Amino acid sequence: LLGGGAIQQVQESPRIQQLSSRLIKLQAKGSGRGLLEWLVVLDHVHKLLVSGEIASPRELFYSHVGLFKSQKRSDDIIKALCSTLSVPRHFLRLAGTAKGLVRGHLRFRLPVGQTNACDDGTGAAPQNDWIDGMDPLHASGYPISPTCSHLYEIESMAEAVLVVEKETIFHRLIANGILERHAPLILITGRGFPDLATRYFLQRIQETIGPKIFLLTDFNGAGLAVAGTYALGSSSASSSSSSSLLSSSSSSR
């Protein structure tokens, strides 16, 4: 699949060299089990990348449940792999189910040629058609794709986005007509602590239309932690590129 020049470029990549060094150190320490765990994860990810399929970290663990002592162990290797390669987890075709929801005055779609690389979170085959954020068939919100939220093309006249911590409040606001009274408006919830996909989607909105972003959370430690995750990123982010998704100008509002 790769020409000689491309293979040489991959071999000389600093990130690949770091990964090779990590594996060599495990071998030098005589950590046969640790090395095997890493190789199994790499093999699983390679198969996903070649096939274009998507799997959850839990599926990876249960596929090799006799090897890993716990899912935390396989998750830790996945995090270390993402950190070494400086890519978010879904770039390795590892993603959970859709968590975030969006509803409001916007439309979005996958770029042409990207549908084969994505799962839009609905279980249906992803298309390049525009998705209407006010579609009555998704009156409770449209799921934010766990694998391609960073790729969406977004169009909107909204000047504000309201990000809600709790799903129940999200649905209550919709039922009480907030989108009709304050149109045009975009409403988003990460259903608690937001996953990376929800934060990427919010970043895409910020980059595309530059609205004011408001956060509605509980006024306690957990609520402030949720707000901080949106503004500053998660302390357990899998790569430096995803540690902070919103600009300081928006996150301070």
Instruction: Provide, rounded to the nearest whole percent, the portion of the chain with pLDDT above 70.
Output: 81
Kindly tell me the sign of the dihedral angle through the C-alpha atoms of 150, 153, 156, 159: positive
Question: What secondary structure letter does DSSP report for 159?
Answer: S
pLDDT at 251 over 50: no
Is there a contact between 105 and 186 (Cβ–Cβ < 8 Å)?
yes
Beta-carbon contacts of 233 under 8 Å, excluding residues fewer than 6 positions away, are: 199, 242, 243, 244, 245
Of these ranges, 66-70, 184-188, 202-206, the one predicted with the greatest mean pLDDT is 184-188
Q: Mean pLDDT, the chain, as a whole number?
A: 81
Mean pLDDT, residues 184-201 taken together: 92
Alpha-carbon distance of 81 to 38, in angstroms, equals 9
pTM over 0.75: no
pLDDT at 206 over 60: yes
Both tokens of residue 200? 């990427």
> What confidence score (pLDDT) does residue 85 get?
87
At 237, the pLDDT band (50, 70, 90 cuts) reads: low
> What confidence score (pLDDT) does residue 98 get?
81
> What confidence score (pLDDT) does residue 132 get?
94
3-state secondary structure of 148: coil
Alpha-carbon distance of 17 to 35, in angstroms, equals 16
> What confidence score (pLDDT) does residue 235 get?
59
> What confidence score (pLDDT) does residue 236 get?
55
pLDDT at 230 over 50: yes
pLDDT at 49 over 50: yes
